[in-house]
Structure 1
Amino acid sequence: MKLAGLAMASPAAAAQILQQAAAEAMEFTQQAEATSLGSGTLDHLDLAVTEFNHAYSLKPPAAVFDAVLDYRRKVDALLKGRHTHRQERELLAFAGWMSELLAWLAHDLGDARTGLAFATDAFIHGRQAGHGQLCGWAMDAAASINLYEQRPDRARQAALKGLTEAPADHPLTVRLHAQAARAAAADGDADGFTTAFHAAEDAYRLLPPRSPRRFGMDVLPLANYALTSYPATSFIWLGQAEEARRHAEHALTTYESAPAASRSPSREAIARIDLAIAHAQLGDPDDAVALGHQALDSARVVGSVLGRAGDLTSFLTRRYPRQAAVEGLAERLTAAAAARSALSATSTGA
């Protein structure tokens, strides 16, 4: 009779079964809404991620890394607790956003292994949350980190992986195509660079009139930067110094004219280094050295800046050996790298 249920039950038994079912339905509902999260927890996490992203370009990366990692651990603990399915998706997304930021911060601190580990973590959490945009941003970080580690094939793979997840009408798609173009240039593939960069330009033309925002910040400048600074670096790698100079000058003008909230000292420094290398390739070491010093005057001399400055000093040393100005720039770079390593070790307790 229990197996047959309502089909074989008498009217009285059927009524009792339905009453029990109603009680079970109420319990199902309570279980679905059961959670150990406080009412303001998700709002607090949203505010925290927003503030961390605003602090990224303003505060020392080691200090921001420690703070974000502490929150990332808190979100991991929350994910192991009791929550609704909707809350789980939001927690997964917050975990992913924090890991995406930690990937960039680790990169700034010169630790590619940690950066790539967090980029992968961000991608996985983004996929679990059903958040394609987060997945794309994670692979944007992975592409940059791999490029600075001189692994252009992996950088291109990361960019293409991100493109499978990112919204087609979003500035992120422009960046990912530009990342693929930059990776092709680093690999010496001029045709691959041209194809991918044209795809980035096409994607840019298809962007909607209203630019999306990420944690309160306009993301369109990130697409603009990719279309200006990435080709400058790419043409340097492809040995086209005049094109590199033109794009680097454009990139620097774009960076300097950006609103204060969108300014990035480290990107401006790299644009100056690209311009310096172009001048050096064109036979103008004096301007190259001057631009190199300006780059090292940046308020945010992070790992990527030091890496590109190393490319500049290596080229100058080979092309113009025993010039006092070149030796002076190389010595300053060595001192800057040592100072940053000491500061990072002190801030992180390493």
Structure 2
Amino acid sequence: MKLAGLAFAGPAAAAQILEAAAAEVMEFTQQAEATSLGSGTLDHLDLAVTEFNHAYSLKPPKAVFDAVLDYRRKVDRFLKDDHTHRQERDLRAFAGWLSELLAWLAHDLGNARTGLAFATDAFIQGRQAGHGQLCAWAMDAAASINLYEQRPAKAREAALKGLSEAPAGHPLTMRLHAQAARAAAADAEGFTTAFQTAEDAYRLLPPRSPRRFGMDVAPLADYALTSYPATSFIWLGQAEQARQHAEHAFATYEAAPAASWSPSREAIARIDLALAHAQLGDPDDAVALGHQALASARVVDSVRSRAGDLTTFLTRRYPRQAAVEGLRERLAAAVDAARPALTAATPSGA
């Protein structure tokens, strides 16, 4: 109303109105820049998320889960305080990255419901931050968790949802195609076409791969193209194909640089190889590989789950093998040992 009065005001009154408007605009600007975040907060969060991602495969999942959850709660408090629009986008992205990591950690600790809840949160935070790649990583986690929960249709749905957000020519895109292929194998439908798409995406990757929190993500594509088909061919009952891919996967893990080495993925490769040997009529090698997998430095829930598949198959196929019972007992001890950590790692209300 004041500015509308300029058309009818005299020179002195008009000048007064404009001066008042200038002061008002200054308030608008101050409000746009108002923030309660300390000057180094975002840098600190960036460093923390990077360190957590480096610690993921090296430290016990329960210890990492607790530390990451503490930071996720801190970011939630920051989002409720005063901050600029740009800072909100950054905070949403950090919230999403923390939730994506918590999804994997909850999965490692055996709580699929919590893992999927965090994967969903990571996707939503990524959407709010305008961060498509974060959304795609979140759905990669959701696809894996759903597969281990024997929900292949949900796993494929998550993989396709991630592909809609994944950047072209990125190893993550190839990995999500491989997830979709693995889900198709679990359903025994459409695997060949889906896996061919993953192989095509792999061949189109650029010579220099992007980095994620300082780590090269290309090995994740290599793992997906070897380990995922090994599991898929086991589910499809094609033992010789499974053996070849499992051996390739195992060699890929052994040759991985220290920064991207994953003892849990290596253990799963051993179990895939064990299952292939079991299907091919070699229970002794299968049991030996099963013991090696359970001796891993990181026996998380996915390892225990796949070891359960192995012992179930061996018990059914070779019911009189004493060595099989020994592997079952070792797995049962590993499951019992994991229960306290699983109970303690579930946040209230998750």
Aligned partner (choices 269, 272, 275) of residue 271 of structure 1: 269
Counterpart contact for 2:36–2:83, Cα < 8 Å: yes
Query: Who is 1:317 aligned against?
Result: 315
Aligned match of 2:79: 79
Letter of the structure 2 residue corresponding to residue 337 of structure 1:
V
AA at the equivalent of 1:266: S
Question: Aligned partner of 2:150: which letter?
Answer: Q
1:63 counterpart = 2:53: no
173-182 or 203-212: bigger deviation = 203-212
The 1:349–1:142 alpha-carbon spacing in structure 2 relative to 1, beyond 3 Å, is closer
One-letter code of the match for 2:108? D
User: Who is 2:283 aligned against?
Assistant: 285
CA offset digits 1:224-256 (Å, max 9, x no partner): 100110000000011111100000000000000
Check conservation: 2:135, 2:162, Cα contact below 8 A.
yes
Give the corresponding residue for 1:215: 213
Give the secondary-structure state (helix, strand or coil) at the position aligned to 1:101.
Answer: helix
The alpha-carbon deviation at position 345 of structure 1 amounts to 4.5
Q: 2:251 aligns with which of 250, 253, 259?
A: 253
Residue 228 of structure 1 corresponds to 226
Residue 349 of structure 1: CA displacement?
A: 10
Code of the aligned partner of 1:215 = F
Asked if the contact 1:272–1:291 (Cα under 8 Å) also holds between the matched residues in 2, the reply is yes
Q: Which moved more, 1:193-202 or 1:55-64?
A: 193-202
Q: Normalising by the residue count of structure 2, what TM-score does the alignment of the two structures yield?
A: 0.96
**For structure 2, which runs of at least 5 residues remain unmatched after alignment?**
none
Query: Which amino acid letter does the alignment assign opposite residue 84 of structure 2?
Result: T
How much does 1:318 deviate? Answer: 0.5
Give, in whole Å, the separation in 2 of the partners of 1:122 and 1:113: 14
The secondary structure found in structure 1 opposite 2:157 is helix
Aligned length: 348
**Contact 1:185/1:237 (CA < 8 Å) preserved in 2?**
yes
Deviates more, 1:205-214 or 1:52-61: 205-214
Which residue identity lines up with residue 56 of structure 1 in the other structure? Y
Residue 9 of structure 1 and its aligned partner are, at CA, apart by 2.6
Equivalent pair of 2:65/2:345 in contact (CA under 8 Å)? no
Letter in 1 for 2:296: S
Superposition deviation, residue 37 in structure 1: 0.3
- What's the offset of the Cα at 1:287? 0.7
Give the Å deviation of 1:343: 4.6
Structure 2: how far apart are the matches of 1:161 and 1:16? 57
The question of 1:184 aligning with 2:184 is answered: yes
Shift, 1:142, TM fit: 0.3
C-alpha displacement of 1:346: 6.5
Cα contact 1:168–1:203 (8 A) shared by 2: no
Deviation at 1:16, TM superposition (A): 2.0
**Cα distance in structure 2, aligned partners of 1:245 and 1:42:** 47
Rounded Cα–Cα distance in structure 2 between residues aligned with 1:347 and 1:117: 14
1:113-146 superposed Cα distances (whole Å, 9 cap, x missing partner): 0000000010000000000000000000000000
Alpha-carbon offset, residue 15 of structure 1: 2.0
Offset at residue 8 of structure 1 (A) = 2.6
3-state SS of the aligned residue for 1:207?
A: coil
- Cα offset for 1:7? 2.6
Which digits, 9 at most, give the CA deviation of each residue in 1:196-240, with x for residues without a partner? 222222222222222111111111111110011000000001111
Counterpart of 1:132?
132
Q: Structure 2 matches for 1:331-346, cutoff 5 A?
A: 331-345=329-343
SS at match of 1:147: helix
Identical counterparts, % of pairs: 84
1:13, CA displacement in angstroms? 2.3
Separation in 2, partners of 1:345, 1:167: 37
1:37 maps to what in 2?
37
Deviations 1:254-295 (A, max 9, x none): 000000111000000000000000010011111111111110
Instruction: Report Cα offsets for 1:101-123 as digits up to 9, x if no partner.
Output: 00000000000000000000100
Give the whole-Å Cα distance in 2 for the aligned partners of 1:348 and 1:200: 35
After superposition, the CA RMSD in angstroms is 1.5
How far residue 342 of structure 1 moved from its aligned partner, in angstroms, is: 3.5
Range moving further from structure 2, 337-346 or 290-299: 337-346
Contact (CA 8 Å) 2:2, 2:17: kept in 1 or not? Answer: no
- Amino acid paired to 1:211: S
Distance apart, 1:319 and its partner CA: 0.4
